Structures are given as structure tokens and as C-alpha cells.
């Protein structure tokens, strides 16, 4: 039986220990509330994100689905990694947690630059990390920026990058729900 993402996230930052399901999950934060595990130390987790492989059903995709426990857990990782963003100019930090079909979770943060076009968004940073590791098939991404209660929609460039590697039903997890990529990018460019 596959474990839920919330159970797996519990072991994402710490070694796996046997515990009961009543243990409250807490991120490893220091006294100032920042994630204290290095960003690059992630490990493979099993997941059960719902994606539709059948493209014939694209027209029937709902605009947004409610968050479930698994989506909330991935969103918590995006929130935690957001603290590592380099947002010196805008002050708007964004974190992203991308799940590859292999089960590996890749993290990304926005990295700004005095030359604005030289910066990179958290979503693309996560995709760059994953693709550099040899991944090309993805199951879901969670994005968190600014106020935790307000959805941080990906920019157009990030949506186009997602469209390059993901199906129209690819789950984009935001603070207010799970969006299929097609609802965020209905007319993606393709060649």
C-alpha cells in the first residue's frame, strides 16, 4: 500500500523513523523560522498525484480542484524552501517543489539580479534542476510566494516551460487549489 505524501514528507527532511500516524508533522525550522536543512539534500519519495494520461479528456478538465493532504504537504515544502530565495530587489520570495515521475522532488527558488532579465523564477529553477539530473517527466509542482493564503500564479514564461515537459492535465498546486496546466496555459506554444 502506497504511503500518503504527508507520511513521506515527514521523512523528507529527517531519516525515516517508525512513528504512529498521530504524530504531528513539523518542518525542521531553526529559531528564526528558517528551514535548516540544506536545499540540495532531497530524496526520492513515492507519490500518488492524480494526472490524466489520456489527452482526449482535456476539454473536460476542471478549472481548479480542492487541495488534498498530499497537495498540502508538497505546498509545505514549497513554503519551506521559499526562505532560501534571493529576492533582493522585489522582496517577493517564491519557492517551488517539483515532483518527477521517478519520485524525486526537486526544489527551486527565485533568484533575482540587478539586470532583471538575468533572474530566474522558482518554477524554472526547479525544472532546470530536474532536467539537469536527467528527468523529463513530471507529476506535479507546488508554488508558494508572498502571503501563504494568496495563490502565487506562475508567470507566462514558467507556464510555457511547464507546457514543454508536462501534459495539459499536469497539477499545478497553489494556495487556493490544484489547477490543471491547461487552465493556466490554454494556448501553449508548440513546434
- Out of 70, 76, 123, 135, which one is annotated catalytic? 123
Distance of CA 6 to the CA centre of its chain: 14
Helices within the chain (DSSP H only): 5-10, 69-82, 122-132, 156-165, 181-184
Which residues, at least 6 apart from 123, have a Cβ–Cβ distance to it below 8 Å? Answer: 94, 96, 98, 108, 141, 143, 154, 158, 161, 162
Euclidean distance between CA atoms 80 and 35, whole angstroms: 6
123 has catalytic annotation: yes
Euclidean distance between CA atoms 135 and 6, whole angstroms: 23
Do residues 99 and 166 touch, judged by C-beta distance below 8 A?
Answer: no
Annotated catalytic sites, by residue? 123
Amino acid at each position: 500500500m502506497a504511503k500518503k505524501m504527508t507520511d513521506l514528507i515527514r521523512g523528507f527532511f529527517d531519516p525515516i523513523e517508525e512513528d504512529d500516524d498521530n504524530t504531528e508533522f513539523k518542518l525542521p525550522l531553526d529559531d528564526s523560522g528558517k528551514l535548516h536543512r540544506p536545499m540540495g539534500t532531497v530524496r526520492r519519495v513515492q507519490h500518488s498525484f492524480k494526472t490524466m494520461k489520456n489527452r482526449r479528456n482535456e476539454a473536460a478538465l476542471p478549472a481548479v480542484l480542492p487541495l488534498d493532504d498530499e497537495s498540502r504537504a508538497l505546498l509545505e515544502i514549497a513554503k519551506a524552501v521559499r526562505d532560501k530565495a534571493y529576492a533582493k530587489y522585489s522582496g517577493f520570495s517564491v519557492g517551488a517543489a517539483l515532483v518527477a515521475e521517478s519520485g524525486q522532488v526537486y526544489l527551486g527558488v527565485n533568484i533575482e539580479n540587478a539586470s532583471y532579465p538575468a533572474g530566474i523564477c522558482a518554477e524554472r529553477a526547479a525544472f532546470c534542476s530536474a532536467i539537469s539530473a536527467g528527468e523529463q517527466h513530471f507529476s506535479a509542482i507546488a508554488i508558494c510566494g508572498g502571503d501563504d493564503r494568496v495563490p502565487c500564479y506562475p508567470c507566462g514564461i514558467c507556464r510555457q516551460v511547464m507546457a514543454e515537459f508536462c501534459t495539459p492535465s499536469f497539477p499545478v498546486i497553489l494556495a487556493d487549489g490544484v489547477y490543471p496546466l491547461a487552465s493556466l496555459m490554454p494556448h501553449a506554444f508548440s513546434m
